Structures are given as structure tokens and as C-alpha cells.
Structure 1
Amino acid sequence: MQSLRVSDYMNCRPVTFSVEMSVAEAVERLLQSGQTGGPVVDGQNKVIGFLSEQDCLVRMIESCYYREQVCRVKDIMRTEVVSIRPYVSVIEQAQTMLGAKPKIYPVVDDDGYLLGTVNRSQLLNAIDMQLRDGYRIAG
């Protein structure tokens, strides 16, 4: 099972955002995609930040309270992004995700260009499929 790679189970079409996008547009993208967050990328598709539902929710509550409406992704995105490489093993990444780490990781190539994202459900699915295959072979 160590040979399972993140690239085999990652989401190759993640929701993405730009720094100048309004938070309202970002929320619309999140809701339409059914994803809970995604990378913020520059014009060359390099990951420069991350935006989650929680980040948006905090800002939307503040907007309601203070009656502010114009806010950009760059104002609320997280700039310290933990990303992973596509060749990382599923088991290794799953072990990393056991701690209080992000729930979604951008998957980037060695130059920092976005390839996709991976979340806990995708890793759980990968491990589950391998265990089921192992049970069939052993049984």
C-alpha cells in the first residue's frame, strides 16, 4: 500500500481563486463546486494562498455586522500554505493529516505549479479500496 501515490487519488479539477476576486464570487464558486476550500493561484497557476469556507464565513459575518461588502480574496486568504507533491504516498499523507493540519492540501509540482488538491475523504477512499482488494485476494 506504500506505493499508492497522491496523484492517483487527487482532485485534478479543484476550485481555485485569484487574489483580486471578490469574496462574494469566491463563496459562489465554493458553493457551486461543493468543495470546502481551494488554492489561490497567480496568473501562471502557482499556488500563492489558500481560501476555505471558514475564512469566507468569518468575513461574511463581519460584513453583516459592520455592513461592509467589498472584500477581496487577498484580504482574507491564508498565505502560509502547506502543499504536497504528487509522488507522496497516500499512507504518508494520511499519517500527516492525523494531526491538526489542513483538511485540504494543494498538490503542486516541484516548481510550485498547481496540479490538484487532495483531502481526507480521497485518502480514506484510496486506503479503503486497497484494503478491500487485499481482503478479496486473501479470502
Structure 2
Amino acid sequence: MGIKSFQGARRQQQNTTEVNAFRVCDFMSRDLITFRPEQSVEEVIQSLLKNKISGGPVVNSNNELVGIISEGDCLKDISESRYHNMPMEQHTVESRMAKNVETIDGNMNVFDAANKFLESKIRRFPIVENGKLVGQISQKDILIAALDLKGQSWR
């Protein structure tokens, strides 16, 4: 007499290529609001408010990423200008932007990108290909990807 299994039919293993298909480049924003190093901080503030965004990449005339400017950078500029009683109009993006910008690969899996967000406390990562800015992924984009994946394969 053979041994009988009472486990029942096992569910077939999920295809891991399904999960790997959820790449950053599939969810990143490609139509970006960018800033130039020579722009004034005041122009950036107006654009952030008008477009309801919290920051954006700074690119040169060749669309190469040179920095990122955020609401926090603008607040710092306002605070220091007021403290020193100096007009803001002369301050440029280049003087306030973060220059050491961490980027991620557009082919990275969105779950790996989620971990990178958690580890770094950064709100957005630019994606660069061949030296040019091609997109940006935000925490919100990762949440959208997670809900998309849930609808397709989480049961």
C-alpha cells in the first residue's frame, strides 16, 4: 500500500518573469517639468505651485541631468534671504539645487526601487540613459505599480 498525500493539489508556482516585467521604465514619468541652472529660484517656486509638484530635475542645454531642486531647497533660499535681508531675485537654481543626484536604472524591478526609496528617504529618482534624462520615478509611481501588480497576480 502506497502513501497517500492529504495536501491536495498544489498551486502552480507563479511565473517570476511576470513580476520581473514590472520595471521602473514601465511606470516612470517621461513628460517632466524640468528646470535650468540659470533660472531663478522664484521661477521654480512659481512652477512648483502652478504644477502642484514638490521638485524636479535640473538639466543643461543638452538635457543632461545636473541636479535636482525641491520645495525644501526653495524654502531654505527664502529663509536665508529673509534672515540676511537680501532679495531673492538674484538667486539661481544652480546655487540651491542638490548636485550629487542619485539615479536608478529604468530596467530595475519596481520592488527593488521601492526598497531603494525606503533606504534613501528620497522622494524621486531620475532615470538617465546615454547621459540624457529620460524620466523620473516617484514613490507614487511605485504605489501605482504595486496596485497594478496586485490586480494581475496577487490572490
Q: Do the two structures share a fold, i.e. TM-score over 0.5?
A: yes
Question: Which residue, out of 93, 114, 117, partners 1:97?
Answer: 117
* TM-score using structure 1 length: 0.90
- Residue 16 of structure 2: aligned partner: none
Q: Which amino acid aligns with 1:11?
A: S
**Cα distance between partner residues in 1 of 2:29 and 2:127:** 9
Spell out, residue by residue over 1:78-110, the C-alpha distance to the aligned partner (whole angstroms, 9 max, x if none): 11000122211111111111113321011111x
What is the rounded CA distance, in whole Å, between the counterparts of 1:8 and 1:32 in structure 2?
A: 27
Larger Rg: 2
Alignment partners' CA distance in 2, 1:62 and 1:13: 32
The equivalent of 2:58 in structure 1 is 40
- Highest RCO, 1 vs 2 (Cα 8 Å, sep ≥ 6): 1
Segments of 5+ residues of structure 1 without an aligned counterpart are none
The residue matched to 2:58 in structure 1 has which SS?
strand
Match of 2:132 among 106, 113, 119: 113
The residue aligned with 2:29 is 11
Give aligned pairs, total. 135
Matching residue of 1:67: 85
Whether the 8 Å CA contact 1:15–1:30 is kept in 2: the answer is: no
Aligned partner of 1:58 in structure 2 is 76
RMSD over aligned CA atoms reads 1.3
Amino acid corresponding to residue 33 of structure 1 in structure 2: N
| Aligned counterparts of 1:103 and 1:44: Cα–Cα separation in 2 | 25
2:38 corresponding residue in structure 1: 20
| TM-score under structure 2 length normalisation | 0.81
Q: Which runs of 5+ in 2 are unaligned?
A: 1-18
C-alpha deviation, 1:2, in angstroms = 2.4
Q: Which runs of 4+ in 1 moved over 6 A?
A: none
Matched residues in 1 for 2:153 and 2:108: separation? 21
- Which residue number corresponds to residue 128 of structure 1? 147
- Aligned-residue offset at 1:112: 2.1
Identity %: 31
Which of 106, 110, 119 is residue 86 of structure 1 equivalent to?
106
